[in-house]
Amino acid sequence: MPHEIPDRVKLSPGNGGLPKVTITSDWSTAEIYLHGAHVTHFQKNGEPPVLFMSDKSRFQKDSPIRGGIPIILPWFGSRDGHAAHGFARLQDWELTKTSENKGAITLHFKMPECPAAAEFPPFSVEYIVTVAQSLTCDLQITNNSKHNFSLEDCLHTYFQVGDINQISVTGLKGVDYLDQMENFARKTETNEAIKITSETDRIYLDTESTVEILDKKLNRRIRVAKSGSRSTVLWNPWIEKSKRMPDFGDDEFHNMVCVESCNVTKNERTIAAGETSSLKIELSTAVL
């Protein structure tokens, strides 16, 4: 099969018969589905998975995958008459290139042209994922038109945690956020270590900070470093919303938290004519 690397990169049918890429680096393993160029798995050798995947996730062409790293583009949230969180995560992306360098594996994906993009000026998207001691994801958007235009983008990352009651999230103290649980009320984060004790849905604004998830139960620190991102979303659906989500288990909120690197609401991205923008994250782990 094209772009396979023996013992390193393999293409095969995944859940629901959707094609997936399995990657083995010197330090870790990963899986990426072509549907949405969706990273569904990253795990360092000898450690628990870094990414959370719902057991209820639908692996269907017309549905987004629940968990891992959905690509949110070109809008965030709901939009009348359109799919929530944009159309990128519903497209079947093309794997265009793979390479190996000193045990690290890099894969390039390209979003296909699609009718849903017709309302936007012409643009193209490449997604570059490197699997090594850390996981690096680089979403590159090129404005192929003669005019500036704006969009929202987000790497909506779900993280596996041992127990939501035993984690804290650091790196956001002093940052203003929109609290979606209180009709987008604007607040300022006062906590050095944020604890999650109820449904949480916050858009932190004007922040390029690295965020860490401190997980006492797994004795692990997950570090979320980013560039080209001015917003961070923190989300956990808690009890009642979990029950309302058909592709999410009622009790799965105990073992996940989303820390999303993005450019949304007032931080939407404007790309100049002929220019390329990059939203890049690096996910790494360490003993707590």
| Catalytic site positions | 156, 260
Total number of residues shown for the chain = 288
* SS3 sequence of 211-231: EEEEECCCCEEEEEEEECCCE
Q: List CB contacts of 13: < 8 A, sequence separation 6 or more.
A: 19, 20
Which residue, among 152, 153, 147, has the nearest Cα to 272 in the 3D structure? 147
* Distance between CA atoms of residues 283 and 137, nearest Å: 9
The single-letter code of the amino acid at 5 is I
DSSP conformation class of 73: B
Distances (CA, A) of 13 to 97, 182, 234: 19, 43, 32
Helix (H, G, I), strand (E, B) or coil at 127: strand
Tell the residue number behind the tokens 């899986």, with chain if given: 31
Dihedral (C-alpha) 74, 136, 199, 171: value to the nearest 10 degrees?
-110
Between CA 48 and CA 17 the distance in angstroms is 26
DSSP 113: P
CB 199 within 8 A of CB 181: yes
Please give the Cα distance from 7 to 29 (Å, whole number). 11
* Contact by Cβ (8 Å): 75, 86: yes
